[in-house]
Amino acid sequence: MQQICLECGMSVNETMDYCPKCDNALNLQHDGSTITVDIAHQGERVSEALRKMQSEIDSARKGVAMCIRLVVGSGLIRDEVLLALRDLKFRGDIKNFESESFNAGAVLVRLK
């Protein structure tokens, strides 16, 4: 699968870390956008919601979005998502995360 370097426009393989034309780090490039995904309101169990979260984060990290907004609700799924995100941040898989101040049932995750 191909991706486009946002700096020079070259089409490169998605497995590459740096653009061969301009040498920019591809995994740090973003367009400032935010993707919103609901992982908790379609009858998901905690394990299903966590798998869905990881899949959505992995997919979004390959794209050009800067953030992903996870709609998690206010119960057990939210608590487990926050623990999982703490681990992802520690490992360096995400930059940061925070609960939205106006909506405790959503978490904004900074990918790039």
Q: How far apart are the C-alpha atoms of 35 and 67, rounded to whole Å? A: 6
Per-residue pLDDT reduced to its tens digit, 52-92: 999 999 988 888 889 999 999 989 999 999 999 999 999 99
Which residue, chain included where needed, has tokens 């999982």? 84
SS3 content of the chain, % helix, strand, coil (to 5): 30, 25, 45
Residue 7: strand, helix, or coil: coil
Q: How far apart are the C-alpha atoms of 30 and 62, rounded to whole Å? A: 10
Mean pLDDT, range 16-42, rounded to an integer: 90
pTM of the model: 0.82
Domain residue limits, the chain: 1-29, 31-110
CATH code of the region 31-110: 3.30.1370.110
pLDDT above 90: residue 7: no
pLDDT at position 31 is 87
pLDDT at position 32 is 85
pLDDT at position 98 is 96
